[in-house]
């Protein structure tokens, strides 16, 4: 695949995930952090200019900067990501008519919790006055 086409695709996906992440800021059932991570990933591969812009935005600083730099999250951040996504996945279990699809969704829910609690370090939040 042509390098230019790949960069354009990455840039387009970065914009798409950034928009979804922004919607997730105001829509409580849509997690923000995973979409901003995806946007950052695709911007880094598609356009250094867009990537630099993204990492300096307040949205990035508030939602994923800590995770990207420390590979850790607070418990509140983990639950903010997990609970809305889990509620949507549980709803999908009831909507899906195929038992194998339902079992796969249950597996994804368990894997998601395993990954967040055993593979991503949990940190305590820093207070404003602490260094």
Distance, in Å, from the CA atom of 48 to the CA atom of 72, rounded to the nearest integer, reads: 25
- Hey, which residues does 116 pair with through a beta bridge? none
pLDDT of 65-113, one tens digit each?
Answer: 888 888 888 888 888 888 888 888 899 999 999 999 999 999 999 999 9
Q: What is the pLDDT of residues 29-72, one digit of tens each?
A: 677 888 898 999 999 999 999 999 999 999 888 878 888 888 88
SS3 72: strand
Instruction: Name beta bridge partners: 121.
Output: 72
pTM confidence score: 0.68
Whether the CB-CB separation of 31 and 21 falls below 8 Å is answered with: no
CB 86 within 8 A of CB 30: no
């Amino acid at each position: 695949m042509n390098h230019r086409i790949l960069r354009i695709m990455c840039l387009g996906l970065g914009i798409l995930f950034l928009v979804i992440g922004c919607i997730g800021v105001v829509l409580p059932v849509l997690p923000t952090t995973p979409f901003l991570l995806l946007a950052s990933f695709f911007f880094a591969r598609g356009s250094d200019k867009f990537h630099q812009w993204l990492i300096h935005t307040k949205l990035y600083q508030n939602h994923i900067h800590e995770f990207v730099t420390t590979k850790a999250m607070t418990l509140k951040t983990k639950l903010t990501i997990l609970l809305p996504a889990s509620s949507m996945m549980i709803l999908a279990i009831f909507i899906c008519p195929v038992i194998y699809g339902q079992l796969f969704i249950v597996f994804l829910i368990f894997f998601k919790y395993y990954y967040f609690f055993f593979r991503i370090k949990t940190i305590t939040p820093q207070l404003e006055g602490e260094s």
